[in-house]
C-alpha cells in the first residue's frame, strides 16, 4: 500500500512539474514597448469644428431596412463637399445608391492592389433621456480635460445633436459610432493631399448610410459595385475593436488593443408556441405560455457547446503573459485543463461570448388581458454565431429544443453566417500594430472576435484581409455609451485617430 502511495505521489509530482514547466516556457507574446512615449496630439481647432458641425446633422437610421428620413443625409453630403473641397477636387468620388459615398485617391503604382477604409454616416436614435444643458454653439477646445466617466450617464450633458466641444471632449450621438472615424478619414486624406504625398497604391474610402439597420442599401451595394468593377483590395479597414484602457480587461494591468479579425454571425428567430386559449377561470393543465417557458428554459440551459477557436487561442497567447499565474497555467496546459478553462470562461458574460454561439431571449408577447389565456405565445431568441458554427447548426439546435411542442419558427432581421477569419501574418495586420504603437506604444495588441455586426463582412467578396479596429482608447463605461446616453469622444482620441489613419496611408508600402 505504501509503495502504491509513493507511486501516486511520484506521478503527481511529475504532473505538477510538467504543468509548471509548460507554464513558464509557454510562448506568450511579450510587450516590449511600454517605456516608449507615443505621438502627442497637436492643436487643430479647424478639424474639431468640422467634426462638431457634422455631429449637428441628425443622420438617424431607423426601421428594418432603412426606411427613414433622408433629408439630413442630403444635408450631410453637401456639408462634406463644403468642408473638404481639396478631397473632392483631388479624388475620383461618386455615389452608390444615391447616399453611399466613395472616394478614390490615386496612387503612383496602378499594379498594386488598393486599400479601403470604411465608415458610416448614420447614427442610432438618441433616446429620450433628459438633457442637462440645452445651450448650443459651445466650442471650448481649451477647457480643462475631465477624466473619463466611470459609469454610463443617465442624462445627456448637452443636446445629442448640438456637437458641443467642451471639457476636452466632443459630445453627441455618433461621436464614436461612427462619425469620429468618418471625419478622421476625411482629415487624413485631406492632409495627405495638402502635403502633396502620393501613396504608391490607390486609397479608397467608402461610407455607408444604413449600417445601424443592416447595411442592405449602403455597404452591400457598394461592395457589389466594387466586385462588378473587378476591384480587389489588399486590405479593408472598418470599425470593430478598440483600445481598452488599463483596468478594463480583468486581470491585465495594461491597455489592450483588440483588432477584430472576424465577427460573429447573426440569427434571430421568432418562435410561436401554440396551446389552448380561453378564460383563466378554467385553465388547461399546460398553457401556451407555460410551454413557451419550458422552451425558453431549455434554450438557456442547453446552449451550444463552447470551443476555443484558433482566433481566440491567438488572443489568449497575446494577452496571457500579462494575466495572473492561474490564468497562464490554464492557457499553457489546455491539453489537460481545457475543460476547467472553458468552465471559467463561460461563467462571465464577456468571455462566454468569445467561446460560444450565445443565446439571448429578447422579446415576448402573450395575452393582453389578466384573465385571458392566449392560444399563442411568441418570443424572440437571438443567436450570435461563433466562427465554426453555421446557420444550419443553429436551426438544428432550435428544432431539437422545440421538439415535442406545436411551434412555428420564423427568422427575422438579417440572418448571416459568421465572417471568415482574416490572417494576422499580413502586411495589412502588421501595419495596424505599427499604427497602434505609434500612438499608444504601451498597449498589448491582439487579434480578437468582434461580437457585433459591422459593414466589414460585406466586403469579404473583394478582399481576404478584412480588419475591424478603431484607434481610440476608452474604458468600458465610455464604450457602453455608444448606443446609450451622453456619447462623447475625447479631443485627444480624435486627433490621435487622424494621425493613425494618416500614418497608415503614408506607410503602407514603406
pLDDT tens profile 359-381 = 999 999 988 888 888 899 999 99
pLDDT tens, 137-170?
999 999 999 999 999 899 999 999 999 999 999 9
The Cα–Cα gap between 501 and 184 comes to 7
CA atoms within 13 A on the CB side of 159: 13
User: Lowest-confidence range among 4-13, 101-110, 203-212?
Assistant: 4-13
| 387 close to 309: Cβ distance less than 8 angstroms | yes
CA distances, 15 to each of 5, 6, 18, 214, 331 (Å): 15, 14, 5, 51, 16
State yes or no: pLDDT of 8 exceeds 90. Answer: no
* pLDDT score of 10: 85
* pLDDT score of 37: 83
* pLDDT score of 60: 96
* pLDDT score of 372: 84
* pLDDT score of 303: 97
CA angle at 474 for the pair 473 and 477, rounded to the nearest 5°: 175
Contacts of 365 (CB under 8 A, 6+ apart): 377, 378, 379
State yes or no: pLDDT of 278 exceeds 80. Answer: no
Q: How confident is the model at residue 34 (pLDDT cuts 50, 70, 90)?
A: low
The Cα–Cα gap between 430 and 428 comes to 6
* pLDDT score of 301: 96
The Cα–Cα gap between 395 and 414 comes to 15
**In the chain, pLDDT over 90 holds for what percent of residues?**
85
SS3 (DSSP) at 103: strand
Average pLDDT over residues 187-199: 96
| 251 close to 324: Cβ distance less than 8 angstroms | yes
Contacts of 55 (CB under 8 A, 6+ apart): 161, 162, 163, 170, 171, 172, 173, 174, 175, 179
Average pLDDT over residues 126-139: 95
The Cα–Cα gap between 322 and 351 comes to 17
Who has greater pLDDT, 121 or 414? 121
Average pLDDT over residues 116-144: 96
pLDDT tens, 231-242?
999 999 999 999
* pLDDT score of 482: 87
pLDDT tens, 456-498?
999 999 999 999 999 999 998 999 888 999 999 999 999 999 9
Closest by CA to 251, choosing from 156, 327, 141, is: 327
Looking at every residue in the chain, the average pLDDT score rounds to 94
434 phi and psi angles, rounded to 5 deg: -65, -40
State yes or no: pLDDT of 448 exceeds 70. Answer: yes
* pLDDT score of 65: 58
State yes or no: pLDDT of 213 exceeds 80. Answer: yes
| 421 close to 314: Cβ distance less than 8 angstroms | no
Amino acid at each position: 500500500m505504501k509503495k502504491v502511495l509513493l507511486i501516486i505521489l511520484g506521478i503527481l509530482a511529475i504532473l505538477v512539474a510538467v504543468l509548471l514547466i509548460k507554464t513558464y516556457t509557454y510562448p506568450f507574446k511579450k510587450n516590449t514597448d511600454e517605456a516608449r512615449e507615443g505621438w502627442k496630439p497637436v492643436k487643430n481647432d479647424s478639424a474639431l469644428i468640422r467634426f462638431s458641425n457634422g455631429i449637428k446633422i441628425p443622420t438617424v437610421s431607423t426601421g428594418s431596412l432603412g426606411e427613414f428620413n433622408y433629408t439630413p443625409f442630403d444635408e450631410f453630403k453637401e456639408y462634406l463637399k463644403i468642408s473638404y473641397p481639396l478631397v473632392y477636387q483631388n479624388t475620383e468620388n461618386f455615389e452608390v445608391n444615391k447616399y453611399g459615398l466613395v472616394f478614390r485617391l490615386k496612387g503612383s503604382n496602378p499594379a498594386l492592389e488598393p486599400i479601403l477604409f470604411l465608415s458610416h454616416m448614420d447614427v442610432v436614435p438618441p433616446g429620450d433621456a433628459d438633457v442637462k444643458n440645452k445651450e448650443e454653439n459651445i466650442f471650448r477646445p481649451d477647457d480643462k480635460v475631465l477624466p473619463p466617466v466611470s459609469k454610463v450617464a443617465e442624462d445627456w450633458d448637452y443636446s445629442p445633436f448640438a456637437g458641443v466641444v467642451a471639457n476636452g471632449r466632443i459630445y453627441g450621438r455618433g461621436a464614436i459610432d461612427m462619425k469620429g472615424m468618418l471625419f478622421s478619414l476625411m482629415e487624413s486624406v485631406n492632409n495627405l493631399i495638402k502635403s502633396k504625398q502620393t501613396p504608391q497604391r490607390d486609397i479608397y474610402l467608402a461610407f455607408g448610410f444604413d449600417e445601424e439597420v443592416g447595411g442592405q442599401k449602403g455597404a452591400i451595394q457598394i461592395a457589389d459595385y466594387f466586385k462588378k468593377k473587378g476591384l480587389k483590395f489588399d486590405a479593408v479597414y472598418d470599425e470593430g475593436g478598440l483600445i481598452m484602457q488599463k483596468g478594463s480587461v480583468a486581470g491585465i494591468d495594461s491597455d489592450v488593443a483588440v483588432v477584430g479579425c472576424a465577427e460573429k454571425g447573426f440569427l434571430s428567430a421568432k418562435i410561436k408556441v401554440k396551446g389552448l386559449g380561453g378564460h383563466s377561470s378554467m385553465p388547461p393543465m399546460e398553457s401556451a405560455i407555460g410551454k413557451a417557458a419550458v422552451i425558453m428554459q431549455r434554450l438557456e440551459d442547453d446552449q451550444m457547446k463552447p470551443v476555443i477557436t484558433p482566433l481566440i487561442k491567438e488572443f489568449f497567447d497575446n494577452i496571457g503573459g500579462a494575466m495572473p499565474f492561474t490564468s497562464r497555467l490554464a492557457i499553457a496546459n489546455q491539453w489537460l485543463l481545457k475543460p476547467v478553462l472553458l468552465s471559467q470562461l463561460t461563467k462571465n458574460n464577456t468571455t462566454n461570448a468569445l467561446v460560444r454561439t450565445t443565446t439571448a431571449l429578447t422579446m415576448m408577447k402573450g395575452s393582453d388581458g389578466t384573465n385571458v389565456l392566449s392560444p399563442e405565445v411568441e418570443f424572440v431568441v437571438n443567436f450570435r454565431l461563433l466562427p465554426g458554427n453555421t446557420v444550419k447548426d443553429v436551426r438544428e439546435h432550435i428544432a431539437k429544443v422545440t421538439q415535442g411542442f406545436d411551434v412555428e419558427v420564423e427568422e427575422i432581421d438579417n440572418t448571416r453566417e459568421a465572417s471568415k477569419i482574416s490572417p494576422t501574418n499580413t502586411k495589412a495586420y502588421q501595419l495596424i500594430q505599427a499604427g497602434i504603437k505609434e500612438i499608444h506604444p504601451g498597449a498589448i495588441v491582439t487579434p480578437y472576435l468582434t461580437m457585433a455586426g459591422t459593414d466589414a463582412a460585406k466586403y469579404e467578396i473583394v478582399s481576404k484581409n478584412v480588419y475591424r479596429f478603431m484607434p481610440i482608447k476608452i474604458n468600458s463605461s465610455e464604450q457602453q455609451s455608444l448606443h446609450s446616453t451622453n456619447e462623447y469622444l475625447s479631443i485627444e482620441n480624435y486627433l490621435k485617430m487622424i494621425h493613425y489613419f494618416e500614418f497608415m496611408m503614408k506607410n503602407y508600402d514603406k
